Amino acid sequence: MEKVDLVKAVTELEEDLVISAVNEQLAAGISAVEILKQLQEGMEGVGKLYEAGDYYLSELIMSAEVFSNAAALLGSALAADGNNKTIGTVILGTVKDDIHDIGKNIVSTILSCNGFKVVDIGVDAPIETFVEAIKTNKPDVVGMFCLLTTAFDVMKETVAAVKATGTTATVLVGGGPVDLNVAEWCGADGYCKNAYDAVEMSKKASNIN
């Protein structure tokens, strides 16, 4: 049987092929870390297609699901490989009065697959929840989402409260109606148009080139 190109299978969203290839490589004794690198490379391919306009939100959602299901197979093997190092910690949450989570979940998955520890505080997250998460986790990045323009005011209040903690974390905002002007009005450090912006900005905030 022809060997499956795992990177290509991830990029082309062939979930059955991805799962079988991961299982085959694990059975062949290939390290979980090496397999994870291939999965990450495949996700980078998805990102490029998304940036080029060849993939849309539906493909992005599907890619996150494919990656999550494949990465789940590596769980215990990764622990055995001692691959517990992370390149940075990111807190993610949808601000109070907004319950949308698709964008947040995609960003969470893609940050995780790029080596970040993600602390997801959920949707409709009160200001106090963001503040407590910062005190507990000492993150490199705090990411806030909203899909409702009515949540802009609370997003601005949340950014101010986060900065008032004295954290050195980079505060990033994103979501359907959010743009650079909204980010500046909120006092955020940056605006993420998509999940791949979030990865690049988070790497920069964590001093990863």
Q: Where among 80, 98, 129 does a domain terminate?
A: 80
- Do 119 and 186 sit in the same domain of this protein? yes
User: At residue 145, does pLDDT exceed 90?
Assistant: yes
Q: Which residue has the tokens 């000492």?
A: 138
- R_g of the chain computed on alpha carbons: 18
- Domain C-terminal end among 80, 109, 132: 80
**pLDDT number for residue 78:** 65
Whether residues 71 and 134 fall in one domain: no
Q: What are the helix (H) ranges across 52-101?
A: 57-72, 75-80
pLDDT in tens, 183-195: 999 999 999 988 7
pLDDT at 75 over 90: no
pTM, rounded to two decimals: 0.72
The number of beta carbons lying within 10 Å of the beta carbon of residue 15 is 17
Q: Across residues 69-77, what is the average pLDDT?
A: 78
CATH number of the domain that 181 lies in? 3.40.50.280
Q: Do 164 and 72 fall into the same domain?
A: no
**Domains in the chain: how many in total?**
2
What is the per-residue pLDDT for 50?
85
Q: Give exposure, 60-84, as e/b (b: 16+ Cβ within 10 Å).
A: beebbebbeebbebbeebbeeeeee
Query: Token pair for residue 163?
Result: 């900065």
Please state the rounded mean pLDDT for residues 4-21.
94
Lowest mean pLDDT among 2-11, 90-99, 149-158: 2-11
- Whole-number percent of the chain with pLDDT over 70: 93
Instruction: Please state the rounded mean pLDDT for residues 101-121.
Output: 85
**Quick one: tokens of 61?**
């959602």
